[in-house]
Amino acid sequence: MREIQIGGLVSFTTIDYPDKLAAVLFLVGCPLRCAYCSNPHLIDVGDGPYDPTKMFDWIKSRVGRLEAIVFSGGEALMQGDATIGYMQRVRDLGFAIGLHTNGFYPDLLKRAEPFVDWIGLDYKATRAKYESLVGNSVAYDQMIKSLDFWIGTGKDFEVRVTCDPRFITLDDLREIIDDCAMRGVKKIAIQKYQPHFEDAEHATTPEARDQFFKDDNLRNYINSKFESVIWRE
Ligand code: SF4
């Protein structure tokens, strides 16, 4: 089995795992090509610059100081058994395990589930617009399979919607909200799109990016649908 390939580390964070002090490992490789990807250096499969053994030793040194280790990416499950085996070893140290995922690998999520305590799942657009945003025709259906599976586990999770005005309208956001509520999502995060790598041709305006946060009717509607709504502006 190939060793896990780690492309980045945030050694301390209070915002990437709910109510726990955490570190985040960014794994190399992603099957999607989202128009707004903020980690383009991580999406191609390749060797990660971090030595997995040294990283594990470092994680071990955080016992008693951190409470959770979050696997992010890229798409952490793309590395399959290498990721799952590493999660298991880290969990055996006593850490809670978080996973930030685009939901593309529902079968791997099922295999990883015994070692994962919480996930943050991206719901990126409506079914109609998913492919144009992520560049993959089956990504929406895969994500929904992952979402429905995780809901069935009864474990904690958060759905995240990044409001890129090039791919989401106010009506689209309502459609996503209604679908999530219908499926049984309890916690959702509405995230402002950050234009990290926009070229002039596809530039968005501050007004377009802000519209999802300024519409009081929509905001009240979303707040009424879930136990918890985080507005990441
Ligand atoms: S799923 Fe995440 S890492 Fe992969 S291309 Fe999209 S934004 Fe980038």
Residue 205 CB contacts under 8 Å (≥ 6 apart), including other chains? none
Q: Is 34 in the pocket of ligand 1 (CB under 6 A)?
A: yes
- CA-proximal residue: ligand 1, atom 7 (nearest): 37
- Measure 27 CA to ligand 1 centroid, in angstroms: 11
Q: How many domains does the chain have?
A: 1
51-84 pLDDT, tens digit per residue, is 999 999 999 999 999 999 999 999 999 999 999 9
pTM of the model: 0.96
**Does the pLDDT value for residue 125 go beyond 70?**
yes
Q: Which domain holds residue 21?
A: 6-232
The helix/strand/coil state of 6 is strand
Is 36 among the domain residues? yes
Is 1 among the domain residues? no
Q: How large is the greatest C-alpha to C-alpha distance in the chain, in angstroms?
A: 52
- CATH number of the structural domain spanning residue 172: 3.20.20.70
Q: d(Cα 169, Cα 217) in Å, to the nearest integer?
A: 15
Task: Tell me what pLDDT residue 200 has.
Answer: 73
Rounded to an integer, the average pLDDT of 83-101 is 98
Average pLDDT, the chain: 96
Task: Tell me what pLDDT residue 220 has.
Answer: 97
Task: Tell me what pLDDT residue 1 has.
Answer: 65
Q: Is 73 in the pocket of ligand 1 (CB under 6 A)?
A: yes
Q: Is 28 in the pocket of ligand 1 (CB under 6 A)?
A: no
Pure H helices in the chain = 52-61, 80-92, 106-112, 127-134, 139-153, 170-183, 206-214, 216-225
- Measure 211 CA to ligand 1 centroid, in angstroms: 23
Whole-number Cα distances in Å, 186 to 94, 189, 223: 27, 10, 11
Alpha carbon of residue 17 to chain centroid: 11
Least confident of 39-43, 122-126, 178-182: 39-43
Is 225 among the domain residues? yes
- CA-proximal residue: ligand 1, atom 6 (nearest): 34
Percent of the chain residues past pLDDT 90, beyond the cut = 89
Token pair 């309890």 is at which residue? Answer: 186
128-184 pLDDT, tens digit per residue, is 999 999 999 999 999 999 999 999 999 999 999 999 999 999 999 999 999 999 999
Segment (H or E) for 119: strand 118-122
Is 12 among the domain residues? yes
- Measure 135 CA to ligand 1 centroid, in angstroms: 10
- Measure 199 CA to ligand 1 centroid, in angstroms: 18
**Does the pLDDT value for residue 201 go beyond 90?**
no
**Peptide bond before residue 74 is cis, with ω within 30 degrees of 0:** yes
211-231 pLDDT, tens digit per residue, is 999 999 999 999 999 999 999
141 Rama class: left (phi>0) / alpha (psi -120 to 50) / beta: alpha
- CA-proximal residue: ligand 1, atom 8 (nearest): 37
Q: d(Cα 64, Cα 127) in Å, to the nearest integer?
A: 43
DSSP 182-212: HHT--EEEEEE---SS--GGG---HHHHHHH
Is 98 among the domain residues? yes
Substitution candidate for ligand 1 out of 27, 75, 122, 164 with most atoms within 8 A of CB: 75
